[in-house]
Structure 1
């Protein structure tokens, strides 16, 4: 057999994978096995982190100034990471468990992550006031001009007012209630037909707090039966976190 034949035979006898390539593949397989094992061992921690999303379980208080008012608010109550800092802020968004009025924690993470439980949350949006009237103050000068038909008895001791189509409040009903010694209560809610069954914030009301704060709070219509308790709880929560000259 000539040299050409021998060279061809040697080519056929060579292994398809070199020793170095086999070692590299073995090392890669080992790394993948170790990574899989690590992910398995850390599955709970990783799962909690993914479920938590933008939430924080820290109760560190942040000194935040909005307009003319200074507040001290726990980090786990603040919804968005970019708002969790001391100093001035144009707006603060909070998510609180109802009725506890506390922020996020790992023990209660399902209240924030499970769609079947998130209706048990209250959302607050804190800004400097841009209007001289809160929702109660707007009943006479604004909302009454938009009523569609006569008022009628609503649920839980409230009076219901349909709002005229095309008024900017399509699909909403304004509920009001007289409060002796105080302005009438007012809250807007999506109508049952327009509201998502899983909606967590289809009722909203805004109030004035402190020197010049507007607090818009939202909750599920499923909690409308607690409208008086929710109002009292929101006012108490905000007043407890307002910093005055004496604090």
Structure 2
């Protein structure tokens, strides 16, 4: 018996034309995908940082403007990653190893083995730089505001450093004010309690206020602390231009 194919020449030609048209329609989609992938790759390349945290191209310092005053800040000393960029900023927070005043290699981590041990001594001096927007200067607060709240009694100068407590019924009731003339120092310090007392010392540089924080116990060597704050202020200042 002779068997005839069910597919006619016309059907074969129609299928071939349909397949060709389908392939021709896929070409633009494929080209569009290639172009889009290339564009994404180009954008990623242009936006990718040009320095790494471990390469030789890592910048050691960043020029940062706070309130219009320029500072050159060590990258590793900036505490928050979101602040690690150049340009104008409203506030920036740093810390430095003391007494070397070097930028720390990284944050100190608490582990399960150390969390229950005695509190480790603080080995850093903390610094915040913020635009002051013409607020009362640190010197004015020390000479005109704080005296209103101080107890009348003052301790005799100890190695050139005078301490006066704030009255308990004032906003600074749990603090003391330390002052010295040479080197100049004014520091408001909390008293030792469940946690060690901390001191706050401020100074104004251009349109920014610098606020230093350090342990109260360091005041036993207060001249070293005062000189360290002076050195940091000078080191971080950008060109005055």
Of 112, 120, 123, 2:123 maps to 120
Of 122, 136, 157, 2:160 maps to 157
Stretches of structure 1 lacking an aligned partner (at least 5 in a row): 1-55
Q: 1:70 to 1:89 in 2, by over 3 A?
A: same
Where does 1:1-247 land on structure 2 (aligned, <5 Å)? Answer: 60-105=60-105, 116-130=119-133, 131-134=135-138, 136-153=139-156, 155-179=158-182, 185-192=185-192, 194=193, 196-197=195-196, 202-209=198-205, 211-244=206-239
Matched-pair contact (CA < 8 Å) for 1:119–1:222 = no
TM-score relative to the length of structure 1: 0.63
- CA distance in 1 between counterparts of 2:125 and 2:194 reads 17
Q: Which has the higher helix share?
A: 1
Count of residues paired in the alignment: 179
Q: Cα RMSD over matched residues?
A: 2.7
Matched-pair contact (CA < 8 Å) for 1:76–1:104 = yes
Q: Shift of residue 205 of structure 1?
A: 0.7
Q: 1:206 to 1:78 in 2, by over 3 A?
A: same
- CA distance in 1 between counterparts of 2:150 and 2:208 reads 28
Matched-pair contact (CA < 8 Å) for 1:156–1:225 = no
Q: What do the CA deviations read for 1:192-240 (whole angstroms, capped 9, x no partner)?
A: 3x4614x6xx11110112x222100000112112322222222222222
Which has the higher Rg, Structure 1 or Structure 2? Answer: 2
